[in-house]
Amino acid sequence: MELKRIGHVAIAVDDLDRSAQFYQNLGMELVWKDPDWAYLKAGDDGLALLGKSYSQAGPHFGFVFSDRAEVNVAYDRLKAEGVNLTDIHEHRDGTASFYGRDPDGNWFEYLYEPAPVASLS
């Protein structure tokens, strides 16, 4: 099991639209926005904004894998070790992830993030 990097930090916000605009004004690019969360990037680093109705996990940090199979391997290993985990979720953007809690109750996410497809220009 090989982690690629820490890919994002997720924070709770009171007003998703206001916060997304704030971070865009700081120079981040808005990549995805739903009614309950938004995702922004600065280079390869991500910031997830969790609205009040977001229910998957609380504030967390996300570890990124470049191989989808590694998510399953990591899930099986951590589950066998007794780590508190959610089910693996396939996301509509092609990613897949699960959340877990460390011994102190902090949330983390293991996330498969496919390599971007180069555009044909």
The domain in which residue 75 lies consists of 5-112
Q: What is the pLDDT of residue 29?
A: 97
121 within domain boundaries: no
CATH code, domain carrying 72:
3.10.180.10
Distance CA 78, CA 44 (A): 26
| Helix, strand or coil, per DSSP, at residue 58 | coil
Give 22-75 pLDDT, tens digit per residue: 999 999 999 989 999 999 999 989 999 999 999 888 899 999 888 899 999 999
Mention every residue, 6+ apart, whose C-beta is less than 8 A from residue 106. 60
Alpha helices in 1-108 (DSSP H): 16-25, 68-80
The domain tally of the chain equals 1
Q: What is the pLDDT of residue 78?
A: 95
Q: What is the pLDDT of residue 1?
A: 66
Confidence of residue 97 (pLDDT cuts 50, 70, 90): very high
